[in-house]
Amino acid sequence: MKSKFIFFLALASILFTASNAKKVHTLGDSTMAPYDENATVTRGWGMYFGNFLTNGWTSINYAKGGRDSRGGYNELWQTAKKNVEAGDYVIITFGHNDEKNGGMDGIELYNYYINKGDATAAAAVDQRGTIPTTTYKENLGKIVDEAIALGATPVICSPVCRSYFSGGKIRRNGRHDLGDSFSILTENGPTAGQSVPATDHTMDYAYHSEQLAKEKGVAFIDLTSATADLYESYGDAKCHEYLFDGEGSTHFNTTGALLVARECARLMKAQGIMAGDIVLPTDLTVTPASGDFGEAYKGQTLTKEFTLNGFGLSPEEGSVSITATDGITLSTDKKTWTNALTTTYAASTLVQTFYAQVTLTENGQFSGTITVSVSGGSAIEIPVTATAIVLEGGTEVKAYWRLEKDDSYEQTGPATVISETFQGMYVQRYSNPNANTVWPEWTGYDATRKMQRNLLTGDAWPAEEIDDNPDRYIQWGIKPATGMTLSIDEISLFVSGCGGNGMCCHIYYSTDNFETRTTIFEMKKMPANNPQYVESKPVIKLSEGQQLLVRVYPWYNGAATGKTICLSDLTIHGMAQTAGTTGIRTIDSRQNVQATDFFSLDGRQQPSLRRGLNIVRMADGTTKKIIY
């Protein structure tokens, strides 16, 4: 009896702990967003905020590129608040994309042209963008109010600076104050070139985020000033070299993102926000602390990023060695791979990124260890695991869009294909990108091969786009046939810019209608007429009712017309298996089958049983295979 009591007490303790898991939810734009380390060097600071939380706290990053505060409320917050519970924290930071349209509200500008009957001008409007004193504060305020209503604690962070330098200092617009040059919408239309003195904060997004925090009585973190100080401590050249991704003055590399996350945590702790739950280690740490590479297919090579960071290290100068057991190789540049590395540090500070690589040569579990040793100090051991799987059994499924003369597709196997659709985009024509087009040599294709050439609605690419627009994409998809599951093991396509070298794009897939997404490709300033091969080997299992969506989000580096994004040879491949069946049953024509729906193997609904193998949904909701 006593043992049963102890068991139930332990069980109750586990359930209580699980139901009281503590979470920090982060909402923001591309400077905070998560990125796939194998697709890009860009990193968002929200990826690393959890490094500074004690055990028992989890950081969930909902940030996405291209979102302004309106998208933050209408999209990101609507996803996040389903998971927010009493006692959680919600960190909110927007501003970069609120500055679209020179500080005018994008929706108001769009409606202005619609009311004038100018559909062409309306179509060209980027509907992102808010006014600092009104719609910006209103959107942030709605998130704050609803977070409080859920019992959570909101924390407003002003946006991180852009590294716009002038005379060794971050310029006014780099601090998100458009006061030197902004636009207003009048009854006669937009009026550009407006300005106010530096003492006037009318167009200062960071300032108004702080004013909102004061009005609502919630915590405020001044990341704008903090990041300005950080950038200025490096200076213009070194700031861009050490902290940014090499693609401009907005997005971070690993070092920059990690330092900003640490700075946010430091400022929160200094203000007594989560003070007992934030840790700012001064010794050497490794992120992540364990290397779980997850599942992949036998024969694949997996790469994972790790970051060494230490602040206040003793001695002030030293070296760190990194070694790995058999089956793991290491690199700092993803070019030269070895089983041992050495890095040095100075001024008691170290921020160093390195990579580990594992090739899955055998089925099942792989395990190994990476050891990080500080000269004259202790060692840190990082367990490494990966699982090799083989996709076998079932029926092969393939959906293939050639995209040579139309958007038709070829289908093999039992699945339901989701046709190509466009949001804010359209097909200009089908043709070869250019007579000088150069395909990868292994394809055997020449410059006559046609691609689908696509333009954005309105034809003119806007100036100063630094990330994808959430309302502009091209989409395809697939889902299991009725009564089936679908394992996806390949997504591939060719993508190219035509008309200039400024085409940029992100390619993602999602299995939850883009509440979350996985990056499979990022490229900025694609060389024109050079189709890039994109290939991903994901491990995705779709249950009946789920769908896989693939999206291409394009933008252009600078204002331009006549520039197209070209696509071809999209393939989605996998294996279909019967879901939840109870074996194959053979019947004859004299038997009565109590069923609600009948389907062929390719998922097409049929009025009744047909000769051969059928998939049948029974009256009790189960699915059966029946040979008739």
Mean pLDDT confidence for 198-204:
97
CA-to-CA distance for 296 and 328, rounded, in angstroms?
A: 15
pLDDT of 212 > 70? The answer is yes
pLDDT above 60: residue 585: no
Task: Compute the chain's Rg from CA coordinates.
Answer: 27
Of the candidates 59, 52, 35, the one whose C-alpha atom is nearest the C-alpha of residue 262 is 52
Q: Which residues pair with 371 in a beta bridge?
A: 323, 381
| Residue 600: per-residue pLDDT | 64
What integer pLDDT is reported at residue 626 of this predicted model?
65
Q: Please tell me which of 129-143, 283-297, 609-623 the model is most confident about, judged by mean pLDDT.
A: 129-143
Q: Of 462, 498, 487, give the one whose Cα is nearest residue 572.
A: 487
2-6, 33-37, 522-526, 616-620, range with the lowest pLDDT: 2-6
Percent of the chain beyond pLDDT 90?
A: 74
Give mean pLDDT, residues 38-49. 93
- Residue of 561, 523, 568, 575 whose CA lies nearest to 420: 568
Determine the average pLDDT of the residues in 314-330: 91
pLDDT (average), residues 340-358? 90
For the chain, how many residues are written? Answer: 628
* pLDDT score for 505: 95
The C-alpha atoms of residue 351 and residue 374 are separated, in whole angstroms, by: 14
Phi, psi for residue 305 in degrees, rounded to 5:
-95, 140
pLDDT tens figures, 448-477: 999 999 999 989 999 888 899 999 999 999
Residues in Cβ contact with 116 at an 8 Å cutoff, skipping those fewer than 6 apart: none
pLDDT of residue 2: 41
pLDDT at 3: 41
Of 521, 553, 518, nearest to 538 by C-alpha is 518
Q: CA–CA separation, 522 vs 524, rounded Å?
A: 7
pLDDT band at 20 (very low <50, low <70, confident <90, very high): low
Pairing of strands 605-606, 595-599: antiparallel
pLDDT over threshold 50, residue 349: yes
CA nearest 162: which of 250, 248, 83? Answer: 250
Q: CA–CA separation, 262 vs 48, rounded Å?
A: 8
Phi and psi, residue 324, nearest 5°: -140, 150
- Of 287, 487, 296, 285, the C-alpha closest to 385 is 296
pLDDT-derived band at 283 (thresholds 50, 70, 90) equals confident
The average pLDDT across 102-118 equals 96
Average pLDDT estimate for 336-362:
91
Task: Check pLDDT > 90 for residue 161.
Answer: yes
**Mean pLDDT, the chain, whole residue set:** 90
Q: How many CB atoms lie within 10 A of CB 392?
A: 7
* The pLDDT value given to residue 175: 97
Provide the percentage of residues in the chain whose pLDDT is more than 70. Answer: 90
